[in-house]
Amino acid sequence: MRDGKSGKYIIIIGCGRLGAFLASSLSESKQNSVVVIDKKEEAFDRLGSSYSGFTIIADASEIETLRNAKIQKADVLVATTNHDNTNIMIAQIAKGFFNVPKVIARLTEPAKEKVYSELGIDTISPTALSAMEFYRIIMENGE
């Protein structure tokens, strides 16, 4: 894709709780083409029956896996494995080697966020987002 005219070609690494939810939601828009990669076959059980994308069983830290997923055509790559270092390594390859326009990595450790933003990699820390939401609700109810 990468032509801006049709939907997006999106690769999601890791079909855990976060990756599966994201993949299912994104595949609801029939314009998007979604591929989710996980090294464990049973991880794909988390995808809802309405999931209309593709699945690849492989270790996504191997470059061959990314090539098989046609990373050269991807508009977006989201790395959501449970390992920060794996996510960052894949994000760096996607950005620096394959020039994927939008790359986002899940980061459990919020303190590392600044370092990666300096490398041009967007990160999302579910830990920090949850803490902020808890804080907001606590303060709201405290009034």
Shortest Cβ distance from residue 47 to ligand AMP (Å)? 11
Shortest Cβ distance from residue 4 to ligand AMP (Å)? 29
Contact 103, 91 (CB under 8 A): yes
Q: Cα 109 to the chain's mean position, in Å?
A: 16
Closer by beta carbon to ligand AMP, 29 or else 108: 108
Question: Which residues of the chain form contacts with ligand AMP (CB under 6 A)?
Answer: 13-18, 37-40, 43, 59-61, 81-83, 86
Query: How many whole angstroms separate alpha carbon 127 and alpha carbon 60?
Result: 23
Shortest Cβ distance from residue 28 to ligand AMP (Å)? 20
Query: How many whole angstroms separate alpha carbon 29 and alpha carbon 12?
Result: 15
Closer by beta carbon to ligand AMP, 2 or else 92: 92
Query: How many whole angstroms separate alpha carbon 113 and alpha carbon 61?
Result: 20
